[in-house]
Amino acid sequence: MASRYPMLELDRQLCFPIYATARAVVRAYGPLLDSVGLTYPQYLTLLALWGSPDGPMTVGELGQRLRLDTGTLTPLLKRLEKAGHLSRRRDPDDERRVLLDLTDQGWALRDRVADVPDDLLRSLDLSAEDFAELRRLLDQLLDQLEHQTAPERTES
């Protein structure tokens, strides 16, 4: 029997394969990160901090980079600090800002997870071209969605 609302069928939705794929990717990272005691969100946080070229990053900058709010970041940062991977300190020039510094242990973790991206790609069996195209399309989709949902800015 034909559906009265064919566009509401799960298999026609864009959101569902993106959601299911995101969950599957996070699960695929699990075994690769278990050996170093990291969760997927911790790994992403460290990737952002390792890639910061200008020294310490603020919590706000990290939130923008990871597209996470402070309420989500704070417990994550506390766990990374407790594990000895980073330290948090108030910015002496602006007490409202919190600076994040990787510890020696946090920097050393980079060597221990250096093979994770390649290990994941091998497990996906994607060609370099397919990977690049998928990444390009996902970046394009994310940019479009964020542009559509960004709050209107008014100049005064």
Model confidence pLDDT, tens digit, residues 72-118? 999 999 999 999 999 999 999 998 999 999 999 999 999 999 999 99
pLDDT tier, 1 (very low <50, low <70, confident <90, very high otherwise): low
pLDDT tier, 152 (very low <50, low <70, confident <90, very high otherwise): low
Residue 151 has pLDDT above 80, yes or no: no
Q: What is the structure's pLDDT at 3? A: 80
Class of domain 28-115: mainly alpha
Instruction: Report the predicted TM-score, pTM, of the whole model to 2 decimal places.
Output: 0.87
More confident residue, 20 or 128: 20
| b/e per residue 73-101 (b: at least 16 CB within 10 A) | beebbeebeeeebbeeeeeeeeeeebbbe
Q: What is the structure's pLDDT at 63? A: 96
Q: Taking the domains of the chain in order of start, what are their residue ranges?
A: 28-115
Model confidence pLDDT, tens digit, residues 40-77? 999 999 999 999 877 899 999 999 999 999 899 999 99
Of 37, 45, 32, 29, the C-alpha closest to 102 is 45
